[in-house]
Amino acid sequence: MSSILKKCNELGLKMTDQRKVIVEVLSNSKDHPDVELVYKRASEIDKNIGIATVYRTIRLFEENKIIEKHEFKDGRFRYEEVPDEHHDHLIDIRNGKVIEFQNDEIENLQKRVAQQLGYELVDHRLELYGIPIKDKK
């Protein structure tokens, strides 16, 4: 059973056919799809899903911390399952491919910087944008 579905059950969400389909799509999408793409993939499974339902469901999942919203510099809002382990993103600017990474040193530095400014760090966003070294001119 998918991790998303598990969280839905824990929250006692009513699991309609449409929601099950959207859960399936999100669980199987490793590419941080946007709403339009989730809608497209869901429609392939169930012709009758409405875009409003996709918007409502994604919002619901986001509010319940089941999925995370990202806005990389391509303008669209994209989503991914909330991971067990926190990670940040490196985006390949040639093709939009997203690579996930973790770095404790950076995490700790961020916490320290916030403290120095008089703040307690409650959230952060770190995105790196790069081009593959081998392609470098």
Partner DNA sequence: TTAACTGCAAACATTTTGCAACCGT
Partner DNA sequence: ACGGTTGCAAAATGTTTGCAGTTAA
With CB cut-offs between 5 and 8 Å by kind, which of DNA, its own copies, none does residue 15 bind?
DNA
Cross-strand bridge partners of residue 116: none
Of positions 93, 95, 96, 98, contacts its own copies by CB under 8 A:
93
Q: Which of 93, 67, 92, 97 is nearest to 79 (CA)?
A: 67
With CB cut-offs between 5 and 8 Å by kind, which of its own copies, DNA, none does residue 63 bind?
none
Q: Taking contact as CB under 8 A, which single stretch among the options 5-13, 26-34, 79-87, 123-131 is the one that binds its own copies?
A: 123-131
Minimum CB distance to DNA smaller for 3 or for 90: 3
Separation between Cα atoms, residue 107 and residue 4, nearest integer Å: 26
Residues near DNA (CB under 7 A), total: 23
Q: Does 6 bind DNA (CB under 7 A)?
A: no
Here the tokens at position 14 are 């009513």
Separation between Cα atoms, residue 81 and residue 59, nearest integer Å: 13
Q: Does 119 bind its own copies (CB under 8 A)?
A: yes
Of positions 31, 36, 71, 74, contacts its own copies by CB under 8 A:
71
Q: In this structure, are residues 27 and 2 in contact, taking their beta carbons and an 8 Å threshold?
A: yes
The neighbour count for residue 61, using CB atoms within 10 Å, is: 25
